[in-house]
Structure 1
Amino acid sequence: MVEFQSRYHEQRTTRSAGLSRGMASFSTVLLITAVLGHRRGLIETTAFFWVLGIVALLAAFALLLSGFAFSRLWKFGDRGGHDLTAGALLGLVVLAPFGFVAYQIATLPMLRDISTDTEVPPALTAAVSLRTPAMNSLELPSAGERALQAQAYPLVAGRRYDLSLDRVLESVSAVLGRQGWEVVVPPPAAEQAIGEVDIEAVARTFILALPSDVAIRLVDDGDSTFVDMRSASRYGRHDLGDNAERITAFLTALDQEIAAQAGTATTATPEQ
């Protein structure tokens, strides 16, 4: 009878540890497959979010099972330490990105549409026809959203360059060509630029390839040119700071491009 109980305990512990390892391994493979599939356009974004939810649940259950297996090992001296350790480590690795996202949600403002000009943002005319009902709608930011953006992202500001519109457009086109974005409203030739130029593109996040619509507006002001930019996420209530980072990175690259092309006589003034 004692021998039977010992074998029963060992079987239960081995099963829990093995399930932990198997579930964690499956969640890892599923996560990698889903990310690669979404990046290649094989998985629709809404379905991709559901898969990510399943991945998180599997990894969490793997941790719970490894904890249960460890308690059996601690109390009864049963076997299964290698499997529960592998399950716990893989589960933690899979859940780490979800934990980082949770931290960003807790520390960053809930915004999904960022612009250097919050009063009159650059228009996303082409993006309206590209968005489906499942995607975020394009709306003007509320007063509360404008205040949140100003507080959280003070570096998101337009530029005024002491150069003609055509020269600034050449630099914008050069920077845009290095981004790898899908341009849906291309810039005109520099010699054809008059008054105001509007450019639209679709940018994607580096790892998950989540899409955002981007608008760049250039306005001729005589001896200078104003540049404003907007980036709006297609999915999710929270952009995790991605849109602000995209705008500041692009405008910083534009500052450097114009300085390299025009020399130190050119000024780049942030417009508040």
Structure 2
Amino acid sequence: MTAVLERRSSSAAIWSRRFGIFAAVLFTLSAAGHRTEMLETLPFLWLLAIVFGLALLALGLALAGLKRIWDTGERGASAAVWGLIIAACVLAPFAISAVRIVLYPNINDISTDLADPPELTVASSRAGPGINPVEPISEEAARLQSESYPDVAGRRYEYTRDRIIEVVDNLVAARGWRVLRRSGGITPDTPVTIEVEAKSFLLGFPADVAIRISEDENAAHVDMRSASRYGTHDFGDNAKRIRRFLADLDAQVAALVSR
């Protein structure tokens, strides 16, 4: 009889693919659950930590499997490559976040008016595990914002307060932001403050936003504040949120001229 030697399959490669798929599925389901508010933020953060660990494990097993396959000729290259690709895809958002931690300042509360920021009344009354308290913007945070985001500033428009409020309401609705409170506006000299809940684009992390509209000599002034509900670092999201909203507001107000 002639002996036939059968090549062994790399167990590291096979388990790499399995752990990679598990991490990808867990990440997708937990992100969808958090985005749709079926999953609260703190449990979601724990699941993200588990996903990160599983993806790292899959990556390590894929590399070990490929080395073993190269050295001994074992089978399983396809499984190792798929494990490597899936792990890299799952780890990509974590890598992007790490880069943003380096690029952006370690602050989580941004305002166009650092001396007198719009009030976050609803957020101030909110309490719970891990929720950031709403506090006055410190001198250090104000300095970091001024250095990193010098373009984040309020707006002045040659329109009445009520006209600008109408435009702001339309922009808030278009973004799907949830209105939490509307205050002020009892007299023409009283600013109107609209407090809303906004969410980050991909994972739906909540932020508390206040938009203050005041009137002075037939001109409306708009200031905005955005504060992350969780975490000490906002990865630049709050400044980006304010910039985009005010840029859209500029465009909408400019369009009023042609009407």
Alignment TM class, shorter chain as reference: over 0.9
The structure 2 residue matched to 1:168, chosen from 158, 164, 168, is 164
The structure 2 residue matched to 1:222, chosen from 206, 217, 226, is 217
Indicate yes or no: 2:241 matched with 1:246.
yes
The structure 2 residue matched to 1:207, chosen from 180, 202, 206, is 202
- Pair 187,46 (structure 1): closer, same or farther in 2 beyond 3 Å: same
- Residue 54 of structure 2 is matched in structure 1 by 58
Superposition pairs of residues 57-206 of structure 1, within 5 angstroms: 57-186=53-182, 194-206=189-201
TM-score by length of 1: 0.88
Aligned-pair RMSD on alpha carbons?
2.2
Amino acid at match of 2:210: A
Alpha-carbon separation, structure 1, partners of 2:116 and 2:233: 22
C-alpha deviations, 1:210-252, integer Å up to 9, x for none? 1000001112212322110000000111111111111111111
Superposition pairs of residues 18-57 of structure 1, within 5 angstroms: 18-57=14-53
The structure 2 residue matched to 1:260, chosen from 248, 255, 258, is 255
C-alpha deviations, 1:190-218, integer Å up to 9, x for none? 99755211110000111111100000111
Alpha-carbon separation, structure 2, partners of 1:192 and 1:134: 38
Alpha-carbon separation, structure 2, partners of 1:33 and 1:47: 13
- Residue 269 of structure 1 is matched in structure 2 by none
Alpha-carbon separation, structure 2, partners of 1:171 and 1:187: 17
C-alpha deviations, 1:163-184, integer Å up to 9, x for none? 2222222222222221210001
The share of aligned pairs that are identical, in percent, is: 41
Alpha-carbon separation, structure 2, partners of 1:227 and 1:263: 21
| Conserved? CA contact 2:112–2:223, under 8 Å | yes
Partner SS, residue 224 of structure 2:
strand
Cα deviation, residue 16, structure 1: 1.1
Alpha-carbon separation, structure 2, partners of 1:263 and 1:145: 40
| Conserved? CA contact 1:173–1:187, under 8 Å | no
| Conserved? CA contact 1:184–1:201, under 8 Å | yes
Alpha-carbon separation, structure 2, partners of 1:40 and 1:163: 38
Amino acid at match of 2:148: A
Alpha-carbon separation, structure 2, partners of 1:131 and 1:252: 32
- Residue 270 of structure 1 is matched in structure 2 by none
- Residue 235 of structure 1 is matched in structure 2 by 230
Amino acid at match of 1:221: D
Alpha-carbon separation, structure 2, partners of 1:61 and 1:193: 61
Alpha-carbon separation, structure 2, partners of 1:29 and 1:163: 50
Gaps of 5+ in 2: none
Report the count of equivalent residues: 257
Amino acid at match of 1:101: S
Alpha-carbon separation, structure 1, partners of 2:159 and 2:132: 36
| Conserved? CA contact 2:10–2:68, under 8 Å | no
Cα deviation, residue 263, structure 1: 4.6
